[in-house]
Amino acid sequence: REVRGGSDPVVENNRLSKNFIGILCAEEGKGKLIDNVISDSVSAGLSILSAAVPEVYGCRINGSQKATGLLMVGSGNCQVSDVEMQSLRLGAVCSDGALGKIVRARIFHMAGAGVTVRGSGTRVQVSEGEVFGNT
């Protein structure tokens, strides 16, 4: 699934499996991503890039310790809440000026870090979550 160029869809109750990227939201894309199950992605379960500003609720992202669960790179002020990420390479990676909030996320059993925030101008607030069992 792709959300691009200012589009504003509702993507709800889908199962996305074995894709390179489960859901890509980019180029000022908006929308609501609700209760989707994303599994076994190659690169990332959910990628939010290039000033995209989606609202993400209740999604579950899991895999075989290969992909990143949530990748926010240069994102707009997006809101991510009640997301569960399990058994991936990395949990949430926020970089290169990403903006937004990650609230009530459960991030566990990663092959690497549960949460990574890096890069100039990156301002992501992570709160009320559970991050455990990561290598």
pLDDT for residue 79: 96
Q: What separation in angstroms does the CA of 14 have from each of 22, 26, 103, 126?
A: 10, 19, 22, 26
pLDDT along the chain (135 residues), means of 10: 79 97 93 97 96 96 93 94 98 96 98 96 97 95
Contact criterion met (CB below 8 Å) for 29 and 49: no
One-character DSSP codes across the chain: -EE-TT---EEES-EEES-SEEEEE-TT---EEES-EEES-SSEEEEEETT---EEES-EEE-SS-SEEEEEES--EEEEES-EEESSSEEEEEESS-EEEEES-EEES-SS-SEEE-STT-EEEEES-EEES--
Whether the pTM exceeds 0.85: the reply is yes
25 CB neighbour count, 10 Å cutoff: 30
pLDDT at residue 132 in the model:
97
What pLDDT score was predicted for residue 25? 94
Report how far residue 134's alpha carbon sits from residue 3's, in angstroms, rounded to the nearest whole number.
30
**Rounded to an integer, what distance in angstroms lies between the CA atom of residue 37 and that of residue 35?**
7
